[in-house]
Amino acid sequence: MTALPIVETQSGDVSAYIPTNVISITDGQIFLSADLFNAGIRPAINVGISVSRVGSAAQIKAMKQVAGKLKLELAQFAELEAFAQFASDLDKATQNQLAR
């Protein structure tokens, strides 16, 4: 049996009762973010929260390497971007990283 449950979270909170229960009974989830959509990023998939239980077990070695590096870079970028909102004087390396 195949099911594609769709759950709308309140304020993006995936730790609420219904989202956590749906996540626990499915083989993964794709988390769409209103913030990413409003920033013009489409599809607005939050790769930090989206997961698959099959995951890397179904990927060839080259894909695992690329996906792992890409996910790390995206996470580091999101962290830098959040930090940059509070800092007015960023060093050149940080500015270059954000401009990439």
Specify the range with the lowest mean pLDDT, choosing from 23-27, 37-41, 89-93.
89-93
| pTM for this entry | 0.67
> What is the domain partition of the chain in residue ranges?
1-53, 56-100
Classify burial at 61, counting beta carbons within 10 Å of its beta carbon; exposed 0-12, middle 13-18, buried 19 or more. Answer: exposed
Q: Is 42 one of the annotated active-site residues of the chain?
A: no
The encoded tokens of residue 72 equal: 């790390």
pLDDT of the residue at 21: 92
CA distances from 3 to 40, 69, 90 (A): 29, 31, 47
Q: Mean pLDDT over residues 20-26, rounded?
A: 89
Question: What does the pLDDT look like over 29-73, one tens digit per residue?
Answer: 899 999 999 999 999 999 888 888 777 778 899 988 898 898 888
CA–CA dist 32, 22 (Å, integer): 15
Catalytic residue among 25, 43, 53, 61: 53
